[in-house]
Chains A and B, each alone.
Chain A
Amino acid sequence: MENLVQIALQNVNLAAIMPSLVLVCFGMGLLLINVFLPRGTTRPAVWISLVGIVVTAGVVVQGWGSPQYGFSDAVALDNFATFFNVTFLVAAALTILMSDEYLHREGYPVGEYYPLILFTTAGAMWMASGTDMMTIFLGLEVMSVSLYVLAGFFRGQVASNEAGLKYFLLGAFSTGFLLYGIALIYGVTGSTRLTEIGVYLNSHSSLLTNPMTLAGMALLSIGFLFKIGAAPFHMWAPDVYQGSPTPITAFMSAGPKAAAFAAFLRILEYCFFSVKPEWTAMLWVLAVLTMTVGNFVAISQTNIKRMLAYSSISHAGYALVGLVAANEIGYSGVLFYMLAYTFMNLGAFAVLVLAGKKGEENLTLEGFAGFGYKRPFLGVAMTIFLFSLMSIPPTAGFAGKFYLFAGAIKAGYIWLAVIGMLNSAVSFYYYLRVMVYMYFREPTEDYAWVSMPIGVLVTIVLAIIGSLYLGVLPNEVMAMAKMAIF
């Protein structure tokens, strides 16, 4: 044991964990500062956490192109991790920007909210840069535990309590699966290093059909598919998404989900490259199932927040298409799509944050009747986000989906692409319906309660810029996503 610790310490390379380190320091500091702030004062926390994110972003961006490895190869801050880190930071920043007024409106102006988001982000970063099962697990736990608290943040609201508890119980359950999977794989290969596992499995091909390996793979996958929200492990998602505070729902569907994709992708590619045909076949089925379940259930929703929750399931299905393709284009498509989805989905949720009344009221379709006339800017913004979610050109959603499906077609999965496209067509129906209410119905209210705090405005503007920039001029970011693939 002592020996192990020594080896680990010899390999300390703080540069490899610098981004998350900075973020955690800000989070810790903020926790302390919060103690000295009077109750109900959250502004400083917002600013400090934003500064933390900007500083971290600076550190992250510097790492581009110069990968850092450390802790005996348990952590790799490569381009792959950096790209995802940017996605997480964007998600965190947009979430924080849209939260402040909302927390005050809902009656929970508690400063601890912000450090929790920072911790979640740090956990996500560890997941993306983890090259050891234990690092990934550590990141997953840090991320999840903070999210459990955030989901149940409105402790006086039944729905929020339910969300927190449900997320916690099912999350803990799925973590069990994941750990069991790690244990089995460790039992087979004698290692938790991803590369070592991959090399070992590759050179001992008899192990590939070993029930223990297969069970380990299956359990690992279940753990990640749960976090991704893929069917049939998606049952938690709608209730948790609906019950959580709206900005947290937005955050959950973008940041942590991307983190799960990052870790899953890395594990599949590092450890299980020798059984690619097997897991692509499995993911093919799951991708189809996830898209279809998400879309068809979303059709019947009348609450927009819940509808977006289900649609978020179907978007996970589209992203899985990139994993099925299992080629460069598909993988970089996943990276690109996660970033694109972060912008468009957080934008849509930001509009929901504004349109809602105290106590999460007025999030139904009916509550949006004529919204586009009374609040023209928000209406146009929401329209852009919805079209992007529908993947209509020239938006980020289209570019991302094009990328993903091009990967699938290149790999020969024509039918998967066709099913995916038909699924998009199904999704048109429920996204269009929001616009139907916003523009085609006469307003029944004057939406006088809809205020325009600067933070949310900035979120929306940034999300619009992101949704259009990635769609019209995807060159730079797509090239980066390409470079980020191992």
Chain B
Amino acid sequence: MSNLLSLITFFPLVGMVVLLFLPRESDRLLKTVTLVITLITFLISLPLAFDDAFRTSAEMRYVEFAQWINIGEYFRMNYYVGIDGISLWLVMLTTFIMPITVLSTWHAVEKNTKGFMALLLLLETGMLGAFIALDVFLFYIFWELMLIPMYFLIGIWGGKNRIYAAVKFFIFTAVGSLLMLVAIIYVYYYAVKAGLPFQSGFSIAHFYQLDLPAHLQTWLFLAFAFSFAIKVPMFPVHTWLPDAHTEAPTAGSVILAAILLKMGTYGYVRFAIPLFPVAAMKFTPLFATLAVIGIIYGALVAMMQDDVKKLVAYSSVSHLGFVMLGVFAMNLQGLSGGMLQMINHGISTGALFLIVGFIYERRHTRLIADFGGISKKMPVFATIFMIMTFSSVGLPGTNGFVGEFLILLGAFESGLRWYTVFATTGVILAAVYMLWMFQRVMMGKITNPKNEELQDLSGREIAVMVPLLVFVFWIGFYPNTFLEKMNPSLENLIQQVKGKQQVALLVEAPTPSVAKITVNE
């Protein structure tokens, strides 16, 4: 089907409209309908995952193109979408996580279900749109569109401090994206001056071909990178994340961790680095440093948390530091490790937030000190929790291991050796904070009498976790299913970026020697 991507992207939006006509009191009906909508979205997106052409082709596939805004010679924006190996798995991750999220809200959301479900569906459209957009302007529209539902999800259904968290989330992300908008417009006019065919609008394929001078690249890259760094989030602009995660309802945290954060790292891979390769090369030490600081800092802060959810939130800062390190390594291992780790983080951290949600629903507390010895009362829960903990730590056999290993390997080979050494301590620290937390929550004797009454996971809750478990082991044992489909696109990207960087180095290199000669003479 030629407009499969549009169908996937806008189906949730259509579903949202349908949802608005359902009675607001029929809680169960609303949830079921939303679940069905997200499931159908997932099902119609499945052919993408089974498309073998991704194995060999780095091209954009399922491309759709339509003229959208066209004002004489002012601007031209197109509805231009498509996916390649880079966005394929992120799209799949989104459609895969959504039904799980909806299922997890079965008992967690009681207040104003209609609004909650409608916002979830709107959010899904926003996220999918951002991943498939091949026109930078279109990407920006979807990027901003995601903010609105997330803002309300945190603000209305969040915890005690939700208003602060929601406003902070919104303003942090929006500030970054506004600067990016200036940069986008600037690149566009530069492209127009450079003779970009007018019909192509803000198409990134055309922007890739631009030969921006180094000093311009620096500023433009910083504008893009700042915006994405907030979303990732990288140290030191990560401060919105713990607040947002802690206050958000479980479903919000899951989506935030599993998908929204990937927007930032995806932004680097798709936009910031390939658009401004020379500046990216120049800033690699800076970003690698920030990534490593993020890894260690996130881990250390996570270690000190007494709230399980906050701990998982800070572990995200650490994990995404790994992704950033892999991305900036700019070789196949690093980049594919980074991409894979995005998926892994989506699965394992998403699962951990769900797990936190399960016990929170039962006990209405998330403090580590309130638990202890739960494994005896909830054996199934304990097993799943343990697997997810291992996955998050990166134990061999789980998905986390493959991703982190590839990243460290790539970074080590790319000349970021010392960064790799420090980053590796992050793996150890992760084991410390995750296992220590697991021990305090699950092991030992039950000290708190309230925990005696705990029920093990229900069938629905297990159904939520099983798909995630499958992928923990699938990626852990046979990551090739995923890697082989992203590699052609990644290789192509690396070639393109490296090529431009080489040219820039060649241009730069002779200049000093010429200068030297003249001085000597």
Distance, CA A266 to CA B141, complexed state (A)? 33
Q: Is the CB of A414 within 8 A of B182?
A: yes
Q: Is the CB of B174 within 8 A of A428?
A: yes
Indicate whether A439 reaches chain B with its CB closer than 8 angstroms: yes
Q: Is the CB of A475 within 8 A of B71?
A: yes
Distance, CA A474 to CA B72, complexed state (A)? 13
Q: Is the CB of B182 within 8 A of A405?
A: yes
Q: Which residues of B contact A417 (CB under 8 A)?
A: 182, 185
Indicate whether A359 reaches chain B with its CB closer than 8 angstroms: no
Binds A, one of B144-152, B341-349, B418-426, B491-499: B144-152
Distance, CA A309 to CA B68, complexed state (A)? 34
B140-175 interface bits toward A, Cβ cutoff 8 Å, 1 = contact, 0 = none? 110011011001100110000011001100110011
Q: Which residues of A contact B185 (CB under 8 A)?
A: 402, 405-406, 409, 417
Pick the residue among A387, A422, A473, A479 that contacts B72 (CB under 8 A).
A479
Nearest-Cβ distance from residue A473 to partner chain B, whole angstroms:
8
Q: Which residues of B contact A394 (CB under 8 A)?
A: 141, 145
Indicate whether B112 reaches chain A with its CB closer than 8 angstroms: yes
Given contacts A329-B74, A478-B74, contact A392 B167 (CB under 8 A): no
Given contacts A406-B75, A421-B178, contact A428 B170 (CB under 8 A): yes
Given contacts A417-B182, A482-B72, contact A440 B155 (CB under 8 A): yes
Nearest-Cβ distance from residue B115 to partner chain A, whole angstroms:
9
Distance, CA A405 to CA B182, complexed state (A)? 8
Q: Which residues of A contact B65 (CB under 8 A)?
A: none
Q: Is the CB of A428 within 8 A of B171?
A: yes
How many A residues face the partner with a CB closer than 8 A? 35
Q: Is the CB of B162 within 8 A of A393?
A: no
Q: Which residues of A contact B186 (CB under 8 A)?
A: 409, 414
Pick the residue among B70, B71, B148, B156 that contacts A392 (CB under 8 A).
B148
How many B residues face the partner with a CB closer than 8 A? 34
Indicate whether B189 reaches chain A with its CB closer than 8 angstroms: yes
Indicate whether A424 reaches chain B with its CB closer than 8 angstroms: yes
Indicate whether A425 reaches chain B with its CB closer than 8 angstroms: yes
* Residues of chain B in range 108-136 having any CB-CB distance to chain A below 8 Å: 112
Distance, CA A328 to CA B74, complexed state (A)? 9
Q: Which residues of B contact A418 (CB under 8 A)?
A: 179, 182
Distance, CA A424 to CA B144, complexed state (A)? 14
Residue in B closest to A403 when the chains form the complex, CB atoms: B74
* Residues of chain A in range 269-318 having any CB-CB distance to chain B below 8 Å: none
Q: Is the CB of B69 within 8 A of A425?
A: no
Distance, CA A422 to CA B176, complexed state (A)? 9
Nearest-Cβ distance from residue A148 to partner chain B, whole angstroms:
38
* Residues of chain A in range 384-416 having any CB-CB distance to chain B below 8 Å: 387, 392-394, 398, 402, 405-406, 409-410, 414
Nearest-Cβ distance from residue A259 to partner chain B, whole angstroms:
25
Residue in B closest to A483 when the chains form the complex, CB atoms: B72
Distance, CA A242 to CA B460, complexed state (A)? 55
Distance, CA A377 to CA B468, complexed state (A)? 39
Indicate whether A9 reaches chain B with its CB closer than 8 angstroms: no
Distance, CA A260 to CA B74, complexed state (A)? 25
B283-307 interface bits toward A, Cβ cutoff 8 Å, 1 = contact, 0 = none? 0000000000000000000000000
Pick the residue among B145, B170, B188, B189 that contacts A393 (CB under 8 A).
B145
Given contacts A409-B189, A478-B69, A478-B71, contact A393 B144 (CB under 8 A): yes
Nearest-Cβ distance from residue A120 to partner chain B, whole angstroms:
31
Q: Is the CB of A436 within 8 A of B167?
A: yes
Q: Is the CB of A440 within 8 A of B141?
A: no
Given contacts A329-B74, A409-B189, A479-B72, contact A392 B144 (CB under 8 A): yes
Distance, CA A89 to CA B182, complexed state (A)? 33
Q: Which residues of A contact B144 (CB under 8 A)?
A: 392-393, 398
Q: Is the CB of A482 within 8 A of B74?
A: yes
Indicate whether A7 reaches chain B with its CB closer than 8 angstroms: no
Distance, CA A398 to CA B185, complexed state (A)? 14
Q: Which residues of A contact B68 (CB under 8 A)?
A: 475
Pick the residue among A422, A435, A475, A478 that contacts B175 (CB under 8 A).
A422
Q: Which residues of B contact A405 (CB under 8 A)?
A: 181-182, 185
Given contacts A409-B182, A425-B175, A440-B162, contact A482 B145 (CB under 8 A): no
Residue in A closest to B152 when the chains form the complex, CB atoms: A439
Q: Is the CB of A482 within 8 A of B71?
A: yes
Indicate whether A21 reaches chain B with its CB closer than 8 angstroms: no
Pick the residue among A422, A424, A435, A479 that contacts B71 (CB under 8 A).
A479
Residue in B closest to A390 when the chains form the complex, CB atoms: B174
* Residues of chain A in range 315-334 having any CB-CB distance to chain B below 8 Å: 328-329, 332
Distance, CA A405 to CA B75, complexed state (A)? 13
Q: Which residues of B contact A474 (CB under 8 A)?
A: 69, 71
Indicate whether A32 reaches chain B with its CB closer than 8 angstroms: no
Given contacts A392-B144, A414-B182, A439-B152, contact A475 B69 (CB under 8 A): yes
Q: Is the CB of B167 within 8 A of A432?
A: yes
Residue in A closest to B157 when the chains form the complex, CB atoms: A440
Residue from B145, B156, B175, B181 with most neighbouring chain A CB atoms (10 Å): B181
Residue in A closest to B143 when the chains form the complex, CB atoms: A393
Given contacts A409-B182, A409-B189, A479-B71, contact A425 B162 (CB under 8 A): no
Q: Which residues of B contact A478 (CB under 8 A)?
A: 69, 71, 74
Q: Which residues of A contact B181 (CB under 8 A)?
A: 402, 405, 421
Distance, CA A347 to CA B181, complexed state (A)? 27
Distance, CA A373 to CA B167, complexed state (A)? 19
Q: Is the CB of A475 within 8 A of B155?
A: no
* Residues of chain B in range 51-85 having any CB-CB distance to chain A below 8 Å: 68-72, 74-75
Q: Which residues of A contact B179 (CB under 8 A)?
A: 418, 421-422
Nearest-Cβ distance from residue A42 to partner chain B, whole angstroms:
36
Indicate whether A429 reaches chain B with its CB closer than 8 angstroms: yes
Distance, CA A328 to CA B75, complexed state (A)? 12
Residue in A closest to B111 when the chains form the complex, CB atoms: A373
Q: Which residues of B contact A373 (CB under 8 A)?
A: 112
A172-196 interface bits toward B, Cβ cutoff 8 Å, 1 = contact, 0 = none? 0000000000000000000000000
Q: Is the CB of B74 within 8 A of A392?
A: no
Distance, CA A474 to CA B74, complexed state (A)? 13
Pick the residue among B70, B163, B178 that contacts A440 (CB under 8 A).
B163
Q: Which residues of A contact B74 (CB under 8 A)?
A: 328-329, 332, 406, 478, 482
* Residues of chain B in range 424-466 having any CB-CB distance to chain A below 8 Å: none
Nearest-Cβ distance from residue B148 to partner chain A, whole angstroms:
7
4 A-B pairs closest in CB distance? A421-B178, A393-B141, A425-B175, A440-B155
7 further interface pairs, Cβ-Cβ under 8 Å (given A440-B156, A478-B71): A392-B148, A402-B181, A432-B171, A436-B155, A439-B155, A475-B69, A475-B70
Return 30 A-B CB contacts under 8 Å, by A number: A328-B74, A332-B74, A398-B144, A402-B185, A406-B185, A409-B185, A410-B189, A414-B182, A418-B179, A421-B181, A422-B175, A422-B178, A425-B171, A425-B175, A425-B178, A428-B170, A428-B171, A429-B167, A432-B151, A435-B151, A435-B152, A439-B152, A439-B156, A440-B156, A440-B163, A474-B69, A475-B69, A479-B72, A482-B72, A482-B74
Please report A residues at the B interface, Cβ cutoff 8 Å.
Answer: 328-329, 332, 373, 387, 392-394, 398, 402, 405-406, 409-410, 414, 417-418, 421-422, 424-425, 428-429, 432-433, 435-436, 439-440, 473-475, 478-479, 482
